[in-house]
Each structure stands twice: as C-alpha cells, then as structure tokens.
C-alpha cells in the first residue's frame, strides 16, 4: 500500500501545527517553507483538515492556522482518514459486491488483518506522540563534548 503525497504532506503540516500548539498561529507560507510543500497544494490540504475539524483558522494580520484540539486529542487515524479516505488494502473489504469471490476468498482474511493492523497503529498514536519523537530526534542531534 502506497500513501499519497496528500497524506504524507498533510501529516507533516499537522506536525508543524502541533509543534506550535499553544503559541501563535502559523501561516500557510511558513508551513510550506518549512516542509518544502507548494503553497497552493498546502492550502488544499489545510482546507480538508479544517473541514474535518482538525484545524481552525485565525483571522487578522497575525492570523493563520492552529490545531482545533490539543495534539494529544488528535489521533493519527483522524488525519489519515481525512486525507486518504478509508483504510482499505483491497476494495472488497468495503464493498463485498466488488468481487464475486469475496465471500469465499482465501486471501480476504489476510487483507482484513492488514487493515486491522494499520488501523490499530493509527488509532493508538496521537499527534503528541509525533511531537515527542520530533523532540527526541532533535535532542539526539545536539552533540556534547
């Protein structure tokens, strides 16, 4: 299963917003520059995240975008499903009529297990977990002599 750039870039944008949570709103240009994403594409992603209630906008000269909830309250699953859609390794998991062999397909159980494993990871991790990992990786880059 290959993730779209929409999901990869959207996750990175959400991480940027999480790193600034409780501080000032971030403007699209700032996030786009930090993450090397085009402004236009990022605007589309932020619009999707905003419509799902994960991000909110702040108006005014110092406005921009912020997380709508604390990072520890945002599951990675919520971001993933907003940007990627349902987690389906194969179409027949959502629509049994997709394949005439769906009910007796020996491989369907494997696809169902894969879907469950992916969902389990995304439901057990929050945006705060990514913030914590980012902090750890930044600390490990600081060398002391």
Q: Does the domain at residues 5-135 carry the CATH identifier 1.10.10.10?
A: yes
Pull the structure tokens for residue 12. Answer: 């990175």
- Reported pTM: 0.82
* Nearest of 91, 13, 72 to residue 48 by alpha carbon: 13
Per-residue pLDDT of the chain (145 residues), as tens digits, is: 678 899 999 999 999 999 999 999 999 999 999 999 999 999 999 999 999 999 999 998 888 999 999 999 999 999 999 998 877 766 656 555 555 555 667 777 787 888 889 899 999 999 999 999 887 655 554 444 4
DSSP state of 117: H
Contacts of 27 (CB under 8 A, 6+ apart): 63, 64, 65
């Amino acid at each position: 299963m290959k993730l779209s750039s929409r999901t990869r870039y959207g996750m990175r944008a959400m991480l940027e917003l999480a790193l600034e949570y409780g501080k000032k709103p971030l403007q699209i240009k700032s996030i786009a520059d930090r993450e090397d994403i085009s402004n236009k594409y990022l605007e589309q992603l932020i619009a999707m995240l905003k419509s799902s209630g994960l991000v909110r906008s702040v108006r005014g000269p110092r406005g921009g975008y912020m997380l709508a909830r604390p990072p520890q309250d945002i599951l990675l699953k919520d971001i993933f499903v907003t940007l990627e859609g349902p987690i389906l390794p194969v179409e027949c998991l959502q629509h049994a009529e997709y394949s005439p062999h769906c009910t007796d397909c020996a491989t369907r159980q494997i696809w169902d297990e894969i879907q469950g494993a992916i969902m389990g990871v995304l439901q057990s991790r929050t945006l705060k977990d990514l913030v914590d990992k980012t902090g750890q990786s930044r600390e490990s880059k600081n060398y002391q002599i």
